[in-house]
Every structure is written in C-alpha cells, then in structure tokens.
Structure 1
Amino acid sequence: MIDRLRQMAIFAKTIDHGSFRGAARELRLSPSVVSHHVAQLEESLGVALIYRSTRKLTLTREGHRLLSATHKMLEAVEGELVDLSVSASVPSGELRITIPSVLSQSHFIEQIAAFKKTYPRITLFLDFSDTRRSLIDDGFDIAIRMGPKAKNSATSRKLFSVRRKLVASAEYLASRPIPENPQDVVDWDWLALVPAQNVPLEFTGVADSQAIIKPEASIFANDAQAIYRLANASAGLAIVPDFLVSEDVKSGALKYVLPGWELHAIDVYATWPANAPKHGLIHLALGALSQSGG
C-alpha cells in the first residue's frame, strides 16, 4: 500500500509539471525513476493513465479520475500535517520567486524584506529578470508579472498598479518641437522593452480624449532599467515606471513627454502553481506581498 501511495504521488507530480523531467527535478529523482513508478502504477491497476508522445503527456479518462482523487488525498494530508505542526513550529523552508528586474527599484523590495524579517527561517531565492521565466519549467514557486488589467483567479492575484511615464532626456528634446498629442511623436526614436514591443500605446488626454499609436522602435532591450538608462543617454523616448525616473525628472536630466496625456497604469500580479498547498509557504508569502504598494 505504501508503494502504491508513493506511485500515486509521483504520478500527480508528473501531470502537475507536464513532464517526467519536471517532476523528477522537484522530487530529486531521475526522469527514468519517475517514469518507472508511473509505469508500475499503470501495470498494477491494469489501465493506461497517460498517453505519451515526444512533445507532451496526455491523461486518459482513467488518468483524470485518479489525478482528481490523488489531489484530494494529497491536499488532505498536507493540510493535516500543517495543522498538527503550526502550533509547535515557525514557518521554514525555501521559496523561489521570479520578479521583473525593474521592481528591484520599487517599494516591492521593502515588502519582501519585511516578509523575510517576519519569517526568518524561510530562505528566499529571488530571480530578477525582465525575460519571462516559466513558473513550472524553471522551478519557481511564485512568478511576479507585469501586464495590463490583471485579474484575480485561483492561481493569480493582483498586487498593485504602477504608473508609467513617457520620458526623454532634456538634450534629446532640445532639438525637437514641443509635441501636443501622441501622433506628433510617432516617428521619433523609440526605445522598446522586448516583451511589450508589439503592444499599441493607449493615451488618455484632457476631457478623457483617447489616442492610440504604435510607433516603430529603433532600439530593443529585454531590461527595463537598460531602457531607462538609454533614455538618460539621449537615445530616444522610453516608457518607464514613474518610480524609476521621478528623481531624474526633478533634477531636470529627464523630462516628461506629453505631460498632458496619461498612459494606462500597468498591473503587478502574482501567479503560482494550481497545486500549491492552501496552508503552505506560497500562500503565506502571497498574503504578505498582497499588502505591498508600488
């Protein structure tokens, strides 16, 4: 019976991660051992649970039934273990979080530090990158994302919003006429963040007037802070979070372009695996980080 339960748990992890390799990485086993356990489970039950191909794994009807039952079993066990130990222990363990690089300059860092001070026995591995990392394939517990109109769901939660500004250096703007509306700057030199390079820019002006443009960038980068530094070096126009440029605007090194027009704010949200234990470290961290401001 113990072997059967172990095989069921390995089977569930395989499906949750979408591959034998992904499950093996979390369980610290070899992919061949994971595959062997799943094959043994299928043999003992006398049914096929997974259809295998070179590109993906697909559940059979019997596989769906067993996965649902296994998830319920694992959640019940994990919940009971947490309930038994919560009064006698301090939360501990490891959390791997991938975060957009630009947020390293925001108040979000202070919220992470506060969480660590509250739970000193939790070890944090923070990956700061503006290249989107895969939550499952790259082995993260939480992914912090930035995007428009984030929605709360069973596996995602909006944390806060960030105001964006169109900026350029005083030197760059000195040789150009003062623009009155977004269409006036369409053919200027634009700096673009690679993940957002094909997204039209929506502006709101006085009396809620709207303008949408899609300029062609002359420089692309996968790092928002590099875009900001290029704008500082007079390479062109850049759209960056307000918190990143406020001091340079105060000093006069950078200037807001089209100050009478506002860009839509961008949301910062968290995503996590669907099978994250409801009483585990992931949800503990989400509760703390949801109180943060941009």
Structure 2
Amino acid sequence: MKRDVNLNRLAVFVALVRAGSFTAAAAQLGMTKAMVSQHLLQLERELGVTLLVRSTRRMAMTEAGVAFHADCVQLLEQAQTAIERIGHQRSKPTGTLRLTTSTDYGTAVIAPALAAFQRLHPSLQVDLVIDDQINDLIAERFDLAIRIGWLRDSSLRAMRLGSCRQLVMAAPAYLAEHGAPRRPEDLVTHGWIAMSPLPTPLRWTFTRGSQRRVVRMRQVMQANNAAAIRALVLAGAGVSVLPDYLVRDDIQTGRLQVLLAQYRLPEGGIYAVYPDPQPPAKVRVFIDFLRDHIGAL
C-alpha cells in the first residue's frame, strides 16, 4: 500500500539518532524539543511502525528503526551529492556544450572561437551543429544557438552579443568590365546575385544621413547560402550583399571591394539564444567569451 510520507521528517529522524537525544537534536536543528518529538511521531504514523522506543532517560532504535535509519542516511547522502553536483555545474563549466548556428557564421566565426574557448576549458566537450534551418532548441536538446539578423518572437531567452554590417561587394575583375556604381540607383544596371531565403531579396534600402533610397535589383543568379554567394561574387558572376564577418579577409587582400561605402544597409544583430532561464556555467562562460571575441574582430 502506498504511504504518503513527508520526506523532511527523514532528516529530523537522522539528526535525532545522530544527536542521541531530543534536546541535542532540537539545538542542532534550530527547533523546539516538542517539534522534534512531533516530527518523529508523525513519521512513525506515516510509516505505520515504531522507529524509536524512549523513556524519560534514554532512547533506542527498534529493529525497523535501525534498517530505516541506514536507508535514510544513504538517501540523504545521495541527495546532498546531487545538490553539490548541480552547484558545481552552476559554478564551473562541465559536461558538453551543445550549440547550433548557421553555416556561414559557424565556419567563419564560431568554429575558430570554439577552438580558442576549448583551450581555456579543456575538460568541457563541445558539440557544434551547423544548420541553416531554425532548430528547436528544447526538442533537440541544444544549450544555445547563435543567430544572426533579426530575431523572431519567441519564449526563448536572447542576449545581443554584437552586430554585423551588410556590405555591397564585387570582385575587381567584375568592376573592371562593368564599372563601379556611384549611387544606389546605379545597381539596377548590374547583375545581382540574390539571397533566396530573404523575404525581399531584390529590394534593398540604403541610407546616408537623412537620405533613404530604395532600390530594386536585377537578378542574374540566386543562392540560398551566404558562403555560396561569396563564391559567386569572387568568381565575378555579379554584385551582391554579404555580411562583414564573411568578407574581412577578402577586403584586406583585395579579392573583393566594398561598393557604396558611404551608404548604410540595415544592420543585423548577433544573438545568443537559449532556453534555460538559469543557464549553467558552460553557457554563461561561452556567451561572455564569444561577446569578447566578437568585440575584438
């Protein structure tokens, strides 16, 4: 028959046996002697057995009390170990950090950052999943996602780590053949490589001070991935918009050129998104590390 037992009384019972008297147990537990006695009586009623026999001068455990006490000690020790283990996870990075991000940002930024992060925390395992789809963090048991752009409404927690600029790019060979645009409107005469997943891949808004210009491009190609678009632009197939983190080296080496640098396109955010309202240490330290890493780029 199932019995409803108040588990808090187990700790009182163990403390009473350890102390050897109701008076000493009451002092250790911060209770009155009457409260300790009441807890024991209630526990015995809930269990349906006598655990202690006592007189005015002494007390002794029954046979059932001896066996139950041994089980209670083991149970409380296991509970304490579990509490300490959780506390350890809260204070020190342990276990496996499972995260996901997009293909282009994952290869350009996250993978190199994880290599440096793991050197700082060699006991921490890392599981990086590259995917251009929006993963279900809870169903797929991800600790966090790094997402770029503009976040959808969600019950997940999000922390902004930085921002990324969108730059109009072309290869020198393409510009030598077709010329460089001087105004946003000039882009309509150039072949545009569109990012197909965007809601309006051919419509872009340029700002310069208080000026705002909306331009509709002429598509010659499209691709569903920023890394693929970068490869097409490098090959001289046309002009496109690429995120700054993907083309830093190309700009420095001269493989690609920034067009219309005096104009701005909408900036996207870089976010750490996670499901846990109280994230463990492994998530907190990685978010702090990545924020610093992004800030130094």
TM-based fold match above 0.5 = yes
The Cα offsets for residues 96-138 of structure 1, whole Å up to 9 and x where unpaired, read as 2112222245454443233222222221111223343332344
Is the 8 Å Cα contact of residues 172 and 257 (structure 2) preserved in structure 1?
Answer: yes
CA distance in 2, matches of 1:85, 1:247: 41
| Partner secondary structure for residue 135 of structure 2 | coil
Structure-to-structure mapping, 1:126-205, within 5 angstroms: 126-148=128-150, 155-198=157-200, 200-205=203-208
Kindly indicate whether the alpha-carbon contact (under 8 Å) linking 1:191 and 1:220 is maintained by their aligned counterparts in 2: yes
Measure how far apart 1:230 and its partner are: 0.5
Distance 1:254 1:153 in 2: 40
Q: 1:150 to 1:114 in 2, by over 3 A?
A: farther
Shift of 1:152: 12
Q: Is 1:281 aligned to 2:272, yes or no?
A: no
Matched residue type, 2:167: K
Q: Is the 8 A contact 2:169 2:242 kept in 1?
A: yes
Correspondence list, 1:4-83, <5 A:
80-82=83-85
Contact 2:149/2:269 (CA < 8 Å) preserved in 1?
yes
State the SS of the aligned residue for 2:219.
Answer: coil
Whether 1:220 aligns to 2:243 is no
Matched, 1:290 2:295: no
Q: How far apart are the structure 2 equivalents of 1:153 and 1:208?
A: 35
- Deviation of 1:80 after TM superposition, in Å, equals 4.5
- Contact 1:204/1:211, CA 8 A, preserved across alignment: yes
2:260 matched to which residue of 1? Answer: 258
Counting aligned pairs with the same residue, the percent is: 27
- Aligned to 1:158, the other structure's residue is in SS state strand
AA partner of residue 291 (structure 2): S
| Residue identity matched to 1:193 | M
| Runs (5+) with no aligned partner, structure 1 | 3-76
Residue type of the alignment partner of 2:206: F
CA contact (8 A) 1:131 1:222 kept: no
Specify every segment of 5 or more residues in structure 2 that has no aligned partner in the other structure, as ranges. Answer: 4-79
CA distance in 2, matches of 1:86, 1:254: 46
SS of equivalent residue, structure 2 residue 178 = coil
Q: In structure 1, give the amino acid aligned to 2:290.
A: L
Residue of structure 1 aligned with 2:103, choices 101, 104, 127: 101
Alignment check: 8 A CA contact 2:98 2:142 kept: yes
1:90–1:121 CA contact under 8 A, matched in 2: no
After superposition, give the CA deviation of every residue in 1:220-243 in whole Å (9 maximum; x if it has no partner): 323211110100111111211224
Judged with a 3 Å threshold, the aligned counterparts in structure 2 of structure 1 residues 97 and 173 are, in CA distance, closer, same or farther, namely same
- Distance change in 2, residues 1:289/1:84 (3 Å): same
2:207 corresponds to which letter in structure 1? Answer: T
Aligned length: 217
Partner SS state of residue 218, structure 1: strand
- Tell me the TM-score normalised to structure 2 length: 0.60
Q: Partner letter of residue 95 of structure 1? A: L
1:236-277: CA deviation from partner (whole Å, max 9, x where unpaired): 11211224334333444322222332223321111111x454
- Residues 159-196 of structure 1: CA distance to partner in whole angstroms, max 9, x if unpaired? 11122211112222233344222122135322223332
Secondary structure in 2 matching 1:260: coil
Please give the alpha-carbon distance, in whole angstroms, between the structure 2 residues aligned to 1:172 and 1:285.
Answer: 41
